[in-house]
Structure 1
Amino acid sequence: MKLHIVPASTGITWVKSGIAVFRRQPMAMAALFFMTMAAMSLASVVPLIGPALALALLPSATLAMMVASAEAMQGRFPTPAVLLVAFRTGRQRLNHMLVLGALYAGGFLAVMGISALVDGGVFAQVYLGGETMTQEIAENEDFQHAMWVAMALYLPLSLLFWHAPGLVHWHGVPPVKSLFFSIVACVRNFGAFVVFGLGWLAVFALGGVLMSLVSAVLAVLGLFSAGAMGGLMVGLAMVMAAMFFSSIVFTFRDCFAAPDTASPTPDAPTSP
């Protein structure tokens, strides 16, 4: 396996590619993303282990969107079967994905635990949905410090797991090695990932501005209620999030050379 170093401008190409592949199969990609989020939400309600179980599913959900994007790139229609791709590629890779999920859940809960040392766990409870955000909480200095601590710790965690699902699935890399290769690829291509992140921030900001303008105009005309517009804004945010996840496979494809073996790659995906 060979690591590719790409120019910073590649980050914008990744953003454009994610949007373009989403436009090829918008209904399928959006539906798959909604189903992955629904599955994680259902998992989170399991007594005692629900939140950890939902977190453990995130690497598999990310892989499902990567495979769906790879299918769409090849002109194929990504079916809901891709949601189970992590569990249908052999016992060894299944075990590796399960370990990867457990490591992610453990890492995320550790981040929340460290933030709890700053504000007594208020930020963790708000983030995990156990407490409602209020103005008083948002203005609390300890809460703000805990938020920044969590963000600072989550960045390296996300880099560790960014490419890991793809490395396990397409290259057969063991979980711990996949984390190492993932963060090395992100650091070596830091410029491209910074541009990638800024590009998506711009897309989300532009989408929010446009939706706000549309909602304001429709509200003045009396065509939509405030509740309906709120629902539309949530729907737009979900669609843009689906586009974002659709772009992850392009970062993986450009950072790693295809394996020499006959194992599947994003450029030649196998049907799940």
Structure 2
Amino acid sequence: MKLHIVPARTGLDWVKLGIRAFWRQPMALAALFFMTMAAMSLATLIPLVGPAVALALLPSATLAMMVASAEAMQGRFPTPAVLLVAFRTGRQRLRDMLVLGAMYAAGFLAVMGLSALIDGGQFAQVYLGGAPLTREVAETPAFQGAMWLAMLLYLPLSLLFWHAPGLVHWHGVPPVKSLFFSIVACIRNFGAFTVYGFAWMGVFLLGGLAVSLVAGLLAVGGLSSVVGGIMVGAAMMMAAMFFTSLVFTFRDCFEPPDPPSQVPPADRADTSTGPDAEL
């Protein structure tokens, strides 16, 4: 497995490709993203261990969206079967994905635990859905300090797990090694991921402004009852586009394995930096 170093401008290509892939199968990809979020929400209802189980499902959900995006780019319709892709590739891969999920849940809960040292756990309870967020709570210095600490600690956690699901699934890399390779790939391609992050921030900002404008016009027109649904739907759609783009960051950072699998070949018309490969 060889790591590729790509130019910073590739980060913008990843965003464009993600948006393009989403609009090839918008209904299917949006529905799949909604189903993954719904499954994680239902998992939180399990007594005692619900939040941890939901967190452990995130790497598998990320992999499902990557495979669905690859299917869309190849002109195929991604079916709900891709949601189980992490659990249908043999016992070893299944075991590795379960270990990866457990490691992610442990890491995330550790971040929440460290943030609790600042505000006594208020931010953690709000974030995990155990307490409502009020203006008074949000404005307290302790809550804000815990929030910023959690954000700071979550960044390296997200980089550790960014490529890990794809490395486990497509390359057969053991869970611990996948974390190492993932963060190395993100650091070595720091410029591309920085551009990628800022580009998505711009997309979400512009999308939020457009939705706010539409919501304002609908409210003036007496249709305020549908405003909430439109805003939630737009947020879900933009989040789905973001997850759709993840497969392209993976594709361009690593040499494709042998034999080939589901990740689409690099499109030279879209980016000049990705490998000419089918993962």
> TM-score under structure 2 normalisation?
0.94
DSSP-derived class of the 1:76 partner: coil
| Equivalence for 1:152 | 152
Identity of aligned residues (%): 75
Q: Which residue of 2 aligns with 1:45?
A: 45
Match of 2:169 in 1: 169
Which residue identity lines up with residue 21 of structure 2 in the other structure? V
1:254 maps to which residue? 252
Equivalent AA in structure 1 for residue 89 of structure 2: T
Shift of 1:221: 2.3
Counterparts of 2:89 and 2:77, CA distance in 1: 19
| Separation in 2, partners of 1:221, 1:75 | 40
Equivalent residue letter for 1:255: C
Q: Of 261, 264, 270, which residue of structure 1 is paired with 2:261?
A: 264
Tell me if structure 1 keeps the 8 A contact 2:69–2:247.
yes
CA contact (8 A) 1:258 1:265 kept: no
Write out per-residue CA displacement over residues 36-60 of structure 1, whole angstroms, 9 at most, x where no aligned residue. 0000001110001100000000000
* Distance in 2 between residues matched to 1:88 and 1:11, nearest whole Å: 31
Give 1:263 deviation, angstroms: 4.7
User: SS state of the match for residue 264, structure 1?
Assistant: coil
**Equivalent position amino acid for 2:249 in 1:** T
Q: Deviations over 1:24-46 (max 9, x none)?
A: 00010000000000000011100
* 1:161-240 → structure 2 map (5 Å cutoff): 161-222=161-222, 224-225=223-224, 227-240=225-238
Amino acid aligned to 1:237:
A
Q: Is 1:54 the equivalent of 2:54?
A: yes
Per-residue deviation at 1:265?
A: 4.7
State the Cα deviation string for residues 66-98 of structure 1 (Å, max 9, x = none).
000011111111000000000000100000000
1:240 offset after TM fit, Å? 0.3
| Equivalent-residue separation in structure 2 for 1:234 and 1:196 (angstroms) | 24
Check if 1:31 corresponds to 2:28.
no
CA distance in 1, matches of 2:131, 2:218: 33
Distance 2:172 2:230 in 1: 41
2:107 matched to which residue of 1?
A: 107
Aligned residues: 267
**Helix, strand or coil: the match of 1:257?**
coil
Provide the C-alpha distance between the structure 1 equivalents of 2:262 and 2:175, rounded to a whole number of angstroms. 18
2:271 alignment counterpart: none
Do the aligned residues in 2 keep the contact of 1:112 with 1:124 (CA within 8 Å)?
Answer: yes
Quote the residue 1:133 is aligned against. Answer: 133
Paired letter, 2:264 = D
- Higher relative CO (Cα under 8 Å, sequence separation at least 6) belongs to 1
In 1: Cα distance, 2:154 partner to 2:69 partner: 25
Alpha-carbon separation, structure 1, partners of 2:262 and 2:92? 18
Question: How many angstroms apart in 2 are the aligned matches of 1:216 and 1:97?
Answer: 44
Name the amino acid aligned to 2:238: M
Compute the displacement of 1:169 (Å).
0.4
Tell me which amino acid in the other structure corresponds to 1:251: T
Code of the residue aligned with 2:261 in structure 1: it is: P
Instruction: Please name the residue that 2:241 is paired with.
Output: 243
**Over aligned residue pairs, what C-alpha RMSD do you find?**
1.1
- In the TM superposition, structure 1's runs of 4+ consecutive aligned residues that sit over 4 Å from their partners are none
Paired with 1:158 and 1:128, the residues of 2 have a C-alpha distance of 17
* Contact 2:67-2:262 within 8 A present in 1 as well: no
Q: Distance in 2 between matches of 1:238 and 1:265?
A: 25
Q: Could you list the runs of 5+ residues in structure 2 that have no partner in the other structure?
A: 266-277
User: How high is the TM-score relative to the length of structure 1?
Assistant: 0.96
Q: Which residue of 1 aligns with 2:82?
A: 82
